[in-house]
Structure 1
Amino acid sequence: MAVLTLAAGAVAMPGPAAADVDLSRARAHWIDRGTLAWKAPEGRRHELVYSPSGDLRVENGELVGDRHVVPLRRVPGGLTAEQRARWPHLASYDAFRVNVRDVKAVLRGQVVAVERDGGGRLLNATGVQIPGVLDDVYGRAASRAELGPVWRHGTPTLSVWAPTAIRVALDLDGRTIAMRRDDATGVWSVTGTPAWKGRRYAFVVTVFAPSVGRVVTNTVTDPYSLGLTADSRRSLLIDLDDPRLAPAGWKTLRKPAPPRRPTVYELHVRDFSASDRTVPERLRGTYRAFTVRNSAGMRALRALADDGVTHVHLLPVFDFATVPERRADQRVPACDPAALPPDSDEQQKCIAEVRDTDAFNWGYDPLHYTAPEGSYATDPDDPARTKEFREMVAGLNRSGLRVVMDVVYNHTHAAGQDPRSVLDRIVPGYYHRLLEDGRVADSTCCANTAPEHTMMDKLIVDSVVTWARHYKVDGFRFDLMGHHPKAGMLRVRQALDRLTLKRDGVDGRSIILYGEGWDFGEVAGGARFEQATQANLAGTGIGTFNDRLRDAVRGGGPFDADPRRQGFGSGLWTAPNGSPANGTDAEQRARLLHAADQIKVGLTGNLRDYRFTASDGRSVTGAQIDYNGAPAGYTAAPREAVTYVDAHDNETLYDALAYKLPPSTPMADRVRMHVLSLSTALLSQGVPFVHAGTERLRSKSLDRNSYDSGDWFNRLLWDCRDGNGFGAGLPPAADNQDKWPYARPLLADPSLRPSCADIDAARARTGELLRIKDSSPLFSLPTADEVQRRLTFPLSGPGETPGVITMRLDGRGLDPRWKSITVVFNATPSAQTQTVPALKGAAVTLHPVQAASADPVVRRSSFDPRTGTLHVPARTTAVFVES
């Protein structure tokens, strides 16, 4: 190795500063110990310069500071094929050979790539991205390390991965304790005494921080924190095996049996009880509200479980950044929102004044991934938040419901030297995904993490396993999962599958995984790795949200300028609303038929290879039905599709239909279209997913992004006498003002506020659909082959009725009760007949659940055995069974 050294303060070469000298950017990439990838012209001299003291800077056109220079040698032909496959976004970069004896020492300082002309004049200098070389040097050994607090025989050891740190110490209740560095792993650790239990701690990390261009000393909480003090000021040293943190019966807790196919109910912890007067005030909005067995909310959840809901999906319950955790610090709006007009802009205005300091946020802004959120605890300074979280899980399990956690490993609340940055203040430039110039990518809204890096991948797997083993969580929903590598998601799946009841207290194979498989941002199209997107996850058993059916049923998409674009469930062509966004009569009819084809694919579980007759008469597969230029069908197994018509994102189903149905539509018909729309998800072969309150016509007063809209716009009202939330005022301006001209007349219209009878009708009919789903294995077929063999659309083709879908399920050899089940989705405002030749002469009746329905309309559905004709009333989903 040839190293040239120029001491700090050396005389700089004369000449003007080069235009490309920018040490605040990092355009060079040290991808393994021997290779630097950099776009740099030939015929120049290239160097790697490092400074242990981190004081490199440019003065008078020259790099000065405590410089150590390593010549770089260009590699003919650039990166190897293996390197290009590992780093596809750098495939066109030049490659330079790095020959450094002590790579680990270099990585603990500032590193800069330098370009000079033949005379030695500085032409270019840029920072260097180091995640690749860190993984190469430390990854294998570090990935096997135990990080965070680990207890053995009552004694804790604390460990943190900080390979680039100059030194790390432990701050234990204000006392500084030295930590030891393991050179093989880059892990710093210290072993304490049993007296450390319950103590507050942080790591004191001295490290070069590229974001500020100097060595800093940061006092940082533990990325592997299991406990925290209020507002995440300090980590709290707790032992998750401590019996004092376990509720009564925790070790012997019996879970509901794993279902044939999950049915998921999406719920926010604060929404669940914040407006529930049957919950003691001090418990509203907390984990412990789920222990109030006779509250209105818990009675509602038990009733849903009785109907067939199997899992409650909780929006983020890990530690997040944007809510003051002590109740005394939480502000409330100065106005009385209920006293203001339903179309007023005053409600949103006074809520906006406290939105950063009130008690509400969805929580998609992670601080610590493996500690419960403190604002949901009765005392955020106390380790009892762990016990209270477990009480919530137990309360739901004992009510017949499994528990899914919404996890957000794709980004953090902050990066760099921000006080709310954790990962990046310990290993700067590693845990976050950097763009080609070194800036932190933020396509997910915040500072994107880099799960493609070994230790971020390890953090995710370790965190998920902790929630599963120690909190008995039954499933995980990954936010923006398409920003994760497919390989990483498979590692999560494998880690969960290794958990056993005997050894770990949980059956890992029964834990479900699903997430958002969207494809966008700097990783789109496999730019950096094979992503965990919808199509890529086919065959893995990991589910993704099915936006195809959602948009076909609701109409349009979530980002339409005109929210009145209609779909199958909102009156397209059959009940036009007059918006020019819907096109001509002929265009509407064609769109409706295409939407029906998309829904048919959705009813199969969005199977890629399912073959059927499309509305134009062609024999097609699910993949051949278009969805905005992409295939509608993309799964290899039905349970890989999470099928829904609304979720916490975008308008609720009720609000979407308020925009899309003709304004004169009577409330009774609105309820019918609401339930019909929901039926497409509930009776599909995918995993049905229901947003909390949708069964009760929940409205957010047309708010399409209520993540920070306070309790008022996010009310979940269990008492129908309180309404459904519609007419709570114009939704917050930040995300909705462009829709106010459409929203104002709707919110002012009293006919759009449902009565108790309307809300109760929607809830009862949703329950009926859930019980129908649960009544037969035909709605939960296990494989694509079974779906292809048993599920047909007998009337699909050029002669089908626009706005009507007929689906038949063959039960022979599978369903002990019925030979077949036929479902007719009649979204038209008229009664319809559907003649199915295979049913001629058969003994067909209305499903017993609907035959006993409180809905007199569905009870009018009938069958004529002489012709095999099904008669279905307007705006009705009718289910017929063949004995």
Structure 2
Amino acid sequence: LNTVQLLPVFDNASVEEAKERQRGPVKADLRALPSDSPQQQRLIALTVANSPYNWGYDPWHYQAVEGSYCSSLASAEGSGRVHEFRAMIGALHALGLRVVLDQVFNHTASYGQNTKSVLDRIVPGYYHRLSPLGFTEQSTCCPNVATEHAMAQKLMVDSVLLWAREYKVDGFRFDLMGHHSRDNMLAVRAALDALTPEHDGVDGRAVTMYGEGWNFGEVADDARFVQARQGNLAGTGIGTFNDRLRDAVRGGGPFDHDPRAQGFGTGLFTASNEAAVNGDGYHQRDRLLRDTDLIQLGLTGNLRDYWLPSNARRLFVRGDELEYNGGPAGYAAEPDEVINYVDAHDNETLFDALTLKLPIETPMADRVRMNTLCLALATLGQGPVMWHAGTDILRSKSLDRNSYNSGDWFNFLDWTMTDNGFGAGLPPEDDNGPKWDFFRPFLAELALKPTPDDLAEAHAQALDLLRLRASTRLFRLASGHAVRTKVTFPVSDTAHQVPGVIVMRIDDRLGDPAQDEWANLIAVFNATPLPVRLPVPGLDGRHLLHPVQANGHDSVVKGTRVQGEWVRVPARTFAVLVRPW
């Protein structure tokens, strides 16, 4: 864990900066209400206009620091907010952490002659993208910025350079990056690359760039320009988030009517929740095979030219021949062009997704194990990985799928590991109302709220997972060529493939060695509720459980056994076996 990605910290138009004018419901009143009550969100809605917190996606001044995060209104005046923000960046750097800022150049909070409109009041009709009828496009959520126009691109470039030069941040995450052009992003990349330690105090080539490469709206399918979207950025070093692996692990998608659709990591076929949305056993097995393929491809860094033995297709296919939502699943040229993740600030947290999708009778100890296994499916793959803050301590937003404006009641994050936030009431009706009937029985079930001991267990398991990834370069191969050479799935599409199980082998004896400790490693992910025993080609008596797991916190994984080329892995467990040179 070496980087912190912050939600927007530029000056936004919707959060009240003056503490004395901020309004919020009395927390004691909210705590007194039932865990499945609609009253909490109603009380929050009454104070949203003067709320002390939201995510900050209402851009007002792109090059100024947001004042509501300052220690006081006085300190937010003038240079005070600059000083405090720089001090925070310096403190994070002192902890050994890089800092990435969220940039939201795709829209503004307002337009026209409104009081919080800036760009349209400078040059009316220029900075915002217009429809053929002359209306301002709002497919992002709000007035879209026409960054394909020269001066709008200049605003992007100048703003990014300011944050890099003056605040020494280490990277940028671009919100709805698919609404920008590929040329926009290459211009930003070129400007950053020109920064030098001697002249600017920062090596711009070391500054990270990635974003949301989603494809929708009036710009979809390159309608107005070549977008900075998934599939268009291969070879640029600019990353995009991997929704393929995310959806295959969790099940379903972020816009499902019924949130109980299961995936590889939430019991599809192997522990059915009996929801009609999952279909019959035949349908579930077919979906599980497709999800397995998508996860295996994600473990390679979602490479477009990786040849994968497909369980669903029953033949070897290239990554870009696998299908995802009507398009190619694989699209990256190098593993650093994809960010693997299983939850983020958008949509339900991983814990909440597991709550909705696992059979309701699943014991909490097993929910903790599945939380860690889902994280492992992203973390032990090639390329960068993102964890949502609090995912290691079972963070819940009480099933809220969009907590942008839900205040700090539903966005609650308890670093004391006492309360994970589940059962804070029905989430806000605006975004969640149609799903309240699904949510009520879960929120009313007190056994679904983890105890402090459960949070501590999840945290300890997650720390061992981080230690595993950091222990060897084999989980962080530097190029697509190395991945194609060393990474295989030896059981996939064979008679020994078990539904709900993935076996990955990384063999450092092939190609140039990446490290000098292990000749190869074999990772087995068993997402099923039963122990699994299967043969793995290349496994032998010299393979041992990785020292991090053999000496780690989790006692269950220590029950992994190797007998010749056969391995036995406990239920709902991932095990990494290593062979010395």
TM-score band w.r.t. shorter chain:
over 0.9
Q: Distance in 2 between matches of 1:533 and 1:881?
A: 37
Name the structure 2 match of 1:316. Answer: 8
Name the structure 1 match of 2:306. Answer: 610
- TM-score normalised over the length of structure 2: 0.97
SS of 2:50's equivalent in the other structure is coil
Deviation, 1:380, is: 2.4
2:426 counterpart of 1:726: no
CA contact 2:373–2:573 (8 Å) conserved in 1: yes
Residues 295-444 of structure 1 aligned to structure 2 (within 5 Å): 309-334=1-26, 336-378=29-71, 379-444=75-140
Name the structure 2 match of 1:626. Answer: 323
Name the structure 1 match of 2:401. Answer: 704
Deviation, 1:428, is: 0.6
Q: Distance in 2 between matches of 1:736 and 1:612?
A: 38
SS of 1:369's equivalent in the other structure is strand
Name the structure 1 match of 2:225. Answer: 529
* Offset from partner CA, 1:250-272 (integer Å, 9 cap, x none): xxxxxxxxxxxxxxxxxxxxxxx
1:824 to 520, 524, 538: 524
Deviation, 1:815, is: 1.9
SS of 1:633's equivalent in the other structure is coil
CA contact 1:646–1:653 (8 Å) conserved in 2: yes
Letter of the structure 1 residue corresponding to residue 400 of structure 2:
D
Deviation, 1:334, is: 4.5
Q: Distance in 2 between matches of 1:467 and 1:756?
A: 39
Name the structure 2 match of 1:636. Answer: 333
2:356 counterpart of 1:659: yes
Deviation, 1:381, is: 2.2
Deviation, 1:853, is: 1.7
2:567 counterpart of 1:870: yes
* Offset from partner CA, 1:454-510 (integer Å, 9 cap, x none): 001011001100100000010000000000010110111111111111111111111
Deviation, 1:418, is: 0.8
- TM-score normalised over the length of structure 1: 0.64
SS of 1:878's equivalent in the other structure is strand
2:559 to 846, 853, 860: 860
Q: Distance in 1 between matches of 2:566 and 2:490?
A: 12
Name the structure 1 match of 2:259. Answer: 563
Structure ranking higher on relative contact order (CA contacts 8 Å, 6+ apart): 2
1:647 to 324, 330, 344: 344
Considering fraction of residues, name the structure with more strand. Answer: 1
CA contact 1:570–1:661 (8 Å) conserved in 2: yes
Q: Distance in 1 between matches of 2:297 and 2:455?
A: 30
CA contact 2:8–2:102 (8 Å) conserved in 1: yes
Letter of the structure 2 residue corresponding to residue 847 of structure 1:
H
Residues 34-183 of structure 1 aligned to structure 2 (within 5 Å): none
SS of 1:535's equivalent in the other structure is coil
CA contact 1:606–1:686 (8 Å) conserved in 2: no
Letter of the structure 2 residue corresponding to residue 340 of structure 1:
L
Q: Distance in 1 between matches of 2:534 and 2:9?
A: 48
CA contact 2:464–2:553 (8 Å) conserved in 1: no
Q: Distance in 2 between matches of 1:449 and 1:685?
A: 34
Name the structure 2 match of 1:835. Answer: 535
SS of 1:593's equivalent in the other structure is helix
SS of 2:49's equivalent in the other structure is coil
* Offset from partner CA, 1:734-790 (integer Å, 9 cap, x none): 111111111111111111111122111111111111111111111111111110000
Q: Distance in 2 between matches of 1:506 and 1:579?
A: 53
Deviation, 1:377, is: 1.3
CA contact 1:552–1:599 (8 Å) conserved in 2: yes
- Which sections of structure 2, spanning at least 5 residues, go unmatched? none
Q: Distance in 2 between matches of 1:501 and 1:683?
A: 34
* Offset from partner CA, 1:262-291 (integer Å, 9 cap, x none): xxxxxxxxxxxxxxxxxxxxxxxxxxxxxx
Q: Distance in 2 between matches of 1:518 and 1:683?
A: 24
Name the structure 1 match of 2:547. Answer: 848
Q: Distance in 2 between matches of 1:702 and 1:767?
A: 25
Considering fraction of residues, name the structure with more helix. Answer: 2
Name the structure 2 match of 1:481. Answer: 177
Q: Distance in 1 between matches of 2:194 and 2:535?
A: 51
Name the structure 1 match of 2:381. Answer: 684
Letter of the structure 2 residue corresponding to residue 326 of structure 1:
A
Deviation, 1:836, is: 1.5
SS of 1:665's equivalent in the other structure is coil
Per mean C-alpha deviation after superposition, the further-off stretch among 563-572 and 325-334 is 325-334
CA contact 2:536–2:566 (8 Å) conserved in 1: yes
* Offset from partner CA, 1:345-395 (integer Å, 9 cap, x none): 111110111112111110111001011001111232232100100011011
Q: Distance in 2 between matches of 1:479 and 1:837?
A: 43
Deviation, 1:834, is: 2.9
Determine which structure has more spread, i.e. the larger CA radius of gyration.
Answer: 1
Letter of the structure 2 residue corresponding to residue 593 of structure 1:
L
* Offset from partner CA, 1:74-113 (integer Å, 9 cap, x none): xxxxxxxxxxxxxxxxxxxxxxxxxxxxxxxxxxxxxxxx
Name the structure 2 match of 1:773. Answer: 469
SS of 2:127's equivalent in the other structure is coil
Q: Distance in 2 between matches of 1:672 and 1:493?
A: 40
Letter of the structure 1 residue corresponding to residue 11 of structure 2:
D
Letter of the structure 2 residue corresponding to residue 823 of structure 1:
A
Residues 722-801 of structure 1 aligned to structure 2 (within 5 Å): 723-799=419-495, 800-801=497-498
Q: Distance in 2 between matches of 1:664 and 1:579?
A: 14
Name the structure 2 match of 1:185. Answer: none
SS of 1:404's equivalent in the other structure is strand
SS of 1:411's equivalent in the other structure is coil
CA contact 1:321–1:420 (8 Å) conserved in 2: yes
Q: Distance in 1 between matches of 2:76 and 2:133?
A: 40
Q: Distance in 2 between matches of 1:564 and 1:596?
A: 19
2:292 counterpart of 1:596: yes
CA contact 1:326–1:380 (8 Å) conserved in 2: no
**Matched residue pairs, number?**
571
- Which sections of structure 1, spanning at least 5 residues, go unmatched? 1-308
SS of 2:178's equivalent in the other structure is helix
**Aligned residues: percent identity?**
57
Deviation, 1:798, is: 4.3
Name the structure 2 match of 1:216. Answer: none
